[in-house]
Copies of this chain bind each other. A is one copy, B any other.
Amino acid sequence: MAKSDAATPRERYRAQVRAEIKQHAWEQIATAGASALSLNAIAKRMGVSGPALYRYFAGRDELITELIRDAYRSLADAVHATAVTGADPAALAHVLRDWALADPHRYFLIYGTPVPGYHAPDEITGISQEIMADLLTAWTAFEPDAPASPFAAHLADHRDWAGDHPAPPGVLRRALAFWTRLHGVLSLELAGHFAGMGFDPALLFRAELDGLVGREG
């Protein structure tokens, strides 16, 4: 938002319209999912005629790409805002869950079925690494001497994804398990696979989290 007050009035107007388009797109996605996103419908809601939107986005794909980027950014910001307070992994886990439950479609935009032709631009890789860096920092503070294992050793040999974060092997392993296990529970819950099963998904989430932070799950 800092660069919305850009140079020329035209650019300001342009940025504003782009933002308005994205806002309508989010409403549409929150209602019916990303697959139901229609440029025409957005145009209609904005009281403007179809092709007008192509001045602002090259096409549906570019709009969705932008939305994915914004979703990543939103998650990274949410995690980081809590991480800078020195929060432990459990707190980050609940930030993640709250963020996901706030808008499941947004979660699936990031972690759901990949869209056919789409390939993530480098910027998104960067945001993804920001999140991972916060996770690694939180885990390093929480359990700096997490036990290593054969797979942790493998991770230590392939730690490009950790950037230059000085997390020890055991912590790399912890952060990765944190990600995959919580995603496992969250994505199944959000997709409704626990629907008729009876138990409380929140308790399952907490149990998996407890297992990660040492308390038995």
B149 x A216 contact (CB < 8 A): yes
B191 x A180 contact (CB < 8 A): no
A208 x B154 contact (CB < 8 A): no
Partner of A149, one of B33, B113, B176, B217: B217
Number of copies of this chain that the complex holds = 2
Interface residues of A, count at CB 8 A = 53
A32 to chain B minimum Cβ distance, whole angstroms, is 5
Partner of A187, one of B116, B150, B184: B184
A111 and B198 in contact (CB under 8 A), knowing A208-B177, A216-B149, A217-B151? no
Q: Which residues of B contact A211 (CB under 8 A)?
A: 177
A151 x B204 contact (CB < 8 A): yes
A60 to chain B minimum Cβ distance, whole angstroms, is 12
Q: Mark A156-189, 1 if CB is under 8 A from B, else 0.
A: 0011110000000000010011011111110110
A180 x B176 contact (CB < 8 A): no
B111 x A191 contact (CB < 8 A): yes
Q: Which residues of B contact A115 (CB under 8 A)?
A: 33, 35
List 25 interface pairs A-B (beta carbons < 8 Å), by A numbering: A33-B113, A33-B116, A35-B116, A108-B113, A111-B188, A111-B191, A112-B112, A112-B113, A125-B196, A151-B207, A155-B199, A158-B199, A159-B198, A160-B196, A160-B198, A176-B204, A177-B217, A180-B181, A180-B184, A180-B185, A181-B184, A181-B208, A183-B184, A184-B184, A184-B185
